[in-house]
């Protein structure tokens, strides 16, 4: 834990002192608990109000071409991009019997 020295108003000090007495905790423990509650509430609020949630459903009412995934270049760039030439990929042995070390 990190140590911190703070200044409180009389009202804040009396509240903290009273809460500590009622809960049987130290004033520092009460203050840590209160801060944890505020942090949790703020993080929840930030998450719930994150602008990323505004993108949900953006494209639901838009009807696009059925072949968009197959012809993405044509729809994005207005032209067909020639595919990359086939590059030979080594076969992977399916069983140990098919494996040979070269």
- Planar angle of CA 23, 31, 28, nearest 5 degrees: 80
Residue 39 vs residue 96, higher pLDDT: 39
Degrees (nearest 5) of the Cα angle 48, 53, 57? Answer: 145
Q: Structurally, how many domains does the chain consist of?
A: 1
Q: For residue 4, is pLDDT > 70?
A: yes
Two tokens, residue 102: 């070269």
Closest CA to 100 of 90, 89, 88: 90
Q: Where residue 5 falls among pLDDT bands split at 50, 70, 90?
A: very high
Mean pLDDT (whole number) for 34-60: 87
The structure's pTM equals 0.49
Structural domain includes residue 76: no
Q: Classify residue 87: in a domain, yes or no.
A: no
Please indicate, yes or no, if residue 57 is contained in any of the structural domains: no
DSSP letter assigned to residue 93? P
Domain presence at residue 44:
yes
Kindly state whether residue 99 falls inside one of the protein's structural domains: no
Give the three-state DSSP class for 60. coil
Is residue 40 in some structural domain? Answer: yes
Range of the structural domain that residue 33 is part of: 10-50
Whether 91 is in a domain gets the answer no
Minimum mean pLDDT range among 28-32, 40-44, 70-74, 94-98: 94-98
């Amino acid at each position: 834990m990190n140590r911190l020295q703070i200044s409180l108003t009389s009202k804040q000090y009396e509240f903290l002192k009273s809460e500590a007495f009622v809960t049987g905790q130290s004033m520092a423990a009460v203050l840590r608990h209160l801060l944890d509650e505020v942090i949790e509430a703020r993080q929840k609020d930030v998450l719930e109000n994150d602008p990323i949630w505004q993108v949900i459903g953006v494209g639901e009412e838009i009807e696009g071409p059925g072949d968009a995934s197959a012809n993405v270049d044509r729809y994005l760039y207005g032209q067909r991009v020639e595919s990359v030439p086939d590059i030979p990929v080594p076969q992977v042995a399916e069983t140990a019997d098919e494996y040979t070390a070269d």
